[in-house]
Structure 1
Amino acid sequence: MSRILLVEDDPGVRRGVVMGLTRLGHDLEAVGDGWDALDSVATDPPDVVVLDLMIPGLNGIDVCRRIRTMSTLPIVILSARDHDLDILQGFEAGADDYCVKPASAEVIDARIRAVLRRAAPSSTNDRPLPEVGVFGDLEIDRESLRVRKAGNDIPLTPTELRLLLFLSAQLDRVFSRQELLEQVWEHNFYGEVRLVDACVTRLRSKIETDPGSPGHIQTVRGFGYRFSP
């Protein structure tokens, strides 16, 4: 059973999500205010936060950013805002997944279970890999699941870490956005490749010396992304 903190101010939506996820085996705590969400995370951290963006007290983007200063626990944004900019802002704030309302309890449950699996990533390559991959000043430790740049630890969300592990396990192989969506996010349907682009942008900002001209996570125009050593 997963402990979920639901941050949603609409009573009807909150009641429906709580009932649906409880029926599917989760333990829910629900709050309707951004400050209450931060208090709950600080005092009794859940396994996952399901977070609306338009909430009173402190908006969802700011809540997400503040959680990231204290924890790498998985965050799923649940919002009616579905523009590319909204999704990008969610990932830039540190979210692991973005689910657009209205969404059934089964869809939300699938996202929650996927981010929990990503919270303990493992190598996705069948070939033996060194425990520590060194790529210039970037070190990827697959044993301890730590990433360092110039000797300094880089805090990554579970999704960012899994994406980096997946790409770096198969050097110079090009993966389409849909392949990454299926392998990293475990979404087996089309239409949400924007999640991949948003996460790549945030990951580049953390590991690349010049995110505008990335040396490791490279875009192959018309195809997808590859990791270059």
Structure 2
Amino acid sequence: MANIIITGTSRGIGLEMVKRFADCGHRVLALSRNPDPVATLQLDAVAHFPFDITSTSDIEKVIKFIAGEWKEVDVLINNAGLLLNKPFEETTASEFEAVYAVNVFGVARLIRAVLPFMNQGGHVVNISSMGGVQGSAKFPGLSAYSSSKGALITLTELLAEEYKEKGPSFNVLALGAVQTEMLEEAFPGYQAPLSAQEMAAYIQDFALAGHQYYNGKVLPVSKSTP
């Protein structure tokens, strides 16, 4: 039984991961601004509470939960993300910063909070996007989102180097098109070749075993990029 923290669990891939990990007997802390979808599952092995990754007090809640209930964390999956689909010239500074607050700064803050509870065998999996991979296809309207996902990739590589002697391992998955609500927001009407359930299954397997083979790697997980 592993202790798994997952962010962004109110819908899509995150919610499907909660179901899969719980079904396999693992303990899950599901973190999302809207905890209701997880609450309705009524899974004994799943803890949840409202969580805003940009909130210092909510980060403190996570620390208190781990210290009081688990003592250690095996896997942290940073799945939460904020999408902004808007022309660059129409994007305000505060909107641009809000995307980075969730996709980069919030992830760094949560990792920093959880690290003291992770040992050498732990695994931090950051969920990025093919839009953040250097040289990949880029699309108008996604300047804030894709650039923040590129920053997340580099952050992952740097943390893997910094912690390579004492652990945990850090890897980042750059996802292509997956049929989720977020994809519909970015590319209305586009039909992705992969479902949220299929991608959740892949991430689950990688989170539990991928660090045996990789550390500090960005792995494209994409059958197509719109």
If the TM-score is normalised by the length of the shorter chain, which range does it land in?
0.3 to 0.5
More helix by share: 2
**What TM-score do you get using the length of structure 1 for normalisation?**
0.42
Give the TM-score normalised by the residue count of structure 2.
0.43
* Structure possessing the higher relative contact order (Cα contacts under 8 Å, 6 or more residues apart): 2
Bigger radius of gyration: 1
